[in-house]
Amino acid sequence: MTVKGIEKLCVVGAGKMGHQIAVCAALGGYSVTCTDTVPEMLREAEEFADTWLDSRVAKGKIAEAVANEARANLTFTSSLEKAASDADMVIEAIFEKLDLKRELFATLDSMCPTRAILATNSSYIVGSQIADATRRPDRVINMHFFNPALVMKLVEVVKGPEVSDETADTVMAVSRSLGKVPVLLAKEIYGFLINRLLDALNQEALYLHDMGVATYEDIDLAVVNALGHPMGPFRLMDLTGIDLSYLVRMELYRKTGDTRDKPSPTIVEKYTRGEWGERVGKGFYEYSKEK
């Protein structure tokens, strides 16, 4: 069931996170338009939606009528104005670069209805760093989904200093309407909840690897078999994207100037080689084209 006052959603960014968020919202009964400036990205996103919905029906996970309704709710376009001009809520899922997000939100502010909520799916950048690029700081909020968004239940909703209670309550309600389990952070903090915990583990795992204490395979085995995690830190970095790990650490380093915040030498090497993880076929591990 949709939330009162929120009927049309715009998802900006058709990458892995964006297109999965769009499908989630379409299944939730919202009219969703997913937009991207890269035609190939849009094509792949649309193909994913068709394939994924068909596979759910074939496996008996959802009824064919539900899949058909979700697909009818979902539109893809390269026109940001078309996607955002009548949206009640926008969810941004582009690269983790502050300047790009600020530029986008300023543009969205001029395009969207004044009532629209502008949410960022950023995993590290807090909304208040973006909000002053708009004239609606009370409606700019973090709505952080986890990868893969169609599977992971948690959504972190981060209430910045100028975010209204109404905006936070609405985003929490929208999250629940998508079948998610939202948690509300009453104040901003870099990395939010889960990524702060994961980052501590990842940085220590990278340090142990860089120092030659253990291989990444053995560190992953240890974390899975001793701590009970479903996958080790290196396998998880492959899944979420080594390029994302690099960009996030560089953004932090630019902010703090502390050399300890620089990305690990291993991450720099992987990033430079284009070995960005599962989606490109190679990261710490290799993946088949079918995968």
Give the active site residues.
Answer: 123, 144, 156, 195
Residue of 101, 117, 155, 154 whose CA lies nearest to 10: 117
SS3 213: coil
Which residue type sits at 50? D
- Token pair 């939606």 in the structure block, residue: 49
Distant-in-sequence, close-in-space partners of 76: CB < 8 Å, separation ≥ 6: 14, 33, 34, 35, 42, 45, 46
Q: How many residues does the chain have?
A: 291
Which residue type sits at 145? F
Cα gap 214→204, rounded to integer Å: 12
Enter the tokens of residue 244: 């994302």
Cα gap 137→208, rounded to integer Å: 42
Ranges assigned E (strand) in 13-104: 31-35, 74-77, 89-92
| Tally of CB atoms within 10 A around 284 | 23
Residue of 268, 264, 270 whose CA lies nearest to 285: 270
Cα gap 87→100, rounded to integer Å: 21
Around 165, how many Cα atoms within 13 Å sit in the side-chain half-sphere? Answer: 0
| Tally of CB atoms within 10 A around 63 | 11
